[in-house]
A = this chain, B = another copy of it.
Amino acid sequence: MPAPAKFITYIDAHKDAFIARLGEAVAIPSVSGDPSHRPDVIKMSGYIKSLLEPLGVKVELKDVGMEKQPDGSELPLPPVVFGTLGDDPNKKTVLLYAHYDVQPALVSDGWNTDPFKLTPDKEGRLFGRGSTDDKGPLIAWINIVEAHVTQGIELPVNIKFCLEGMEESGSEGLDDLIEKEKDGFFKSCDCVCICDNYWMNDRTPCLTYGVRGMSYYRIIVSGPARDLHSGLFGNTVHEPMTDLILLMSKLVTPSGEIMIPGLDKLVAPLTDSEKKRYETIDFALTDIEEQVGAKIVLSDDKSQVLMGRMRNPSLSLHGIEGAFYGPGAKTVIPAKVQGKFSIRLVPNMTPENVDPLVIKYLYDEFAKLKSKNTLKIENIHAGKAWMADPDHWNYRAAIKATEEVYKKTPDLTREGGSIPVTLTFADVLGLNVLLLPMGRGDDGAHSTNEKLDTFNYIEGTKLLGTYLHEIAVTN
């Protein structure tokens, strides 16, 4: 069921008002990572409450406790804004997630305009910190509720809002709250929609149904009790760097294939329907070349490149702690070196089934070196992959809504990096989670001159509203 014409008309008619409202939101510098801005983050939660309550949304500001500072002091965490609209047992209940905090921004970082003053240009691009990440989507949901309430359009679903203020700083407090409220606030939810990522390019809408996880390792090789001079001890003792570099060279080939035996068997097989998805995604190798600024794409095959990013694991060598890293020529034999690498995990890999393979392999390879140095391997950071079923009614409704608003079938994509809250909603609540992006790939979410196109803001508002109407009728 497409959204009523009255809804679409209202959105178009209120374009200027909606931009002004986004401007109000951007003007509150709710930088969660900067303690001096914590009052602004908290102010932002009050601002949201002040918009939602007059529309009939029942709002609760959930206290999630204090944040420990490096100096030992404590700072209050901004509340998670819970909102409830409707409790009709005959309607589906959709959980809408967004965040109201932003990344830091200073004019001196290279902004062309004041980052906390939403500034349009001639092409209708709205520049400002948080415009696309994530105040645009958050305000859009409020605009949608306003359109329904003021125009007397019945909301086709019950809505639960979960709006957090610490997303840019590790979502502190949120996981515990979700766990605690899973049989409370979240009990009636039927599906989740998160509007907090981006199209793959500037042309084609997409829905995102998976993100990779990660296991981050360090390989520690220790030898002498202290750093040595290579003139005095070169070719005399086992050098930790020699061993470490050899071990690191056994992890991944120049074409990106992981060399650790058994890992490939953990990767979920590619089905025909999934394969077809990569073939039809609107994507060109030049998109990647532009993003990285060099012609270094691993393959000429579009599907292969997409699968490398979305559905296959990757292994990257990040660097070495303890070795010489400065400019110039230092003749040191470092005594203890730590090689850092990470593996991006995809279904059905988990830190639990990957760790033993990685660790055994590296110890086996080290044994072959016949070195007298000592080896230790540690997983220092781990997170699972997340993948939703893109054939679920939640996705089919979003596809339909996209086709209605953009006259295009959205690409079904997966992302290479992690979005931890996605996994929490899926695991703790056991719900299908949809990532339904509003902005474009070139919005510069964490960068200088972050922007949201007016086109994406207004059409995206229509899309999110239409999505609510579609889920009501999709099964």
Q: How far is the CB of A301 from chain B (nearest CB, A)?
A: 12
Nearest residue (CB) in B for A368 is: B254
How far apart sit A314 and B309, CA to CA, in the bound complex (Å)?
Answer: 41
What would 24 A/B residue contacts be, using CB atoms closer than 8 Å? Answer: A212-B231, A216-B329, A230-B314, A230-B342, A231-B417, A233-B309, A235-B312, A235-B416, A236-B314, A236-B416, A237-B294, A237-B296, A237-B298, A238-B255, A238-B296, A241-B318, A248-B249, A254-B369, A254-B371, A294-B372, A320-B323, A321-B325, A321-B327, A329-B381
| Residues 361 to 419 of chain A near chain B (Cβ within 8 Å) | 369-373, 380-381, 415-418
Copies of this subunit: 2
How far apart sit A336 and B252, CA to CA, in the bound complex (Å)?
Answer: 18
- Check B243 against A254 for contact (C-beta < 8 Å): yes
| Residues 119 to 145 of chain A near chain B (Cβ within 8 Å) | none
- Check B236 against A288 for contact (C-beta < 8 Å): yes
Q: Does A245 contact B (CB under 8 A)?
A: yes
Residues of B within 8 A of A232 (CB): 309, 415-417
How far apart sit A380 and B331, CA to CA, in the bound complex (Å)?
Answer: 12
Segment of A22-30, A106-114, A219-227 in the binding face: A219-227
- Check A256 against B235 for contact (C-beta < 8 Å): yes
Residues of B within 8 A of A233 (CB): 288, 291-292, 309, 416
Q: How far is the CB of A309 from chain B (nearest CB, A)?
A: 5
Q: Does A334 contact B (CB under 8 A)?
A: yes
Q: Does A440 contact B (CB under 8 A)?
A: no
Q: How far is the CB of A201 from chain B (nearest CB, A)?
A: 13
| Residues 204 to 234 of chain A near chain B (Cβ within 8 Å) | 212, 214, 216, 223-226, 228-234
Q: How far is the CB of A67 from chain B (nearest CB, A)?
A: 19
Q: Does A428 contact B (CB under 8 A)?
A: no
- Check A342 against B316 for contact (C-beta < 8 Å): no
Q: Which of B246, B296, B328, B330 contacts A249, CB < 8 Å?
A: B246
Q: Does A332 contact B (CB under 8 A)?
A: yes
- Check A255 against B370 for contact (C-beta < 8 Å): yes
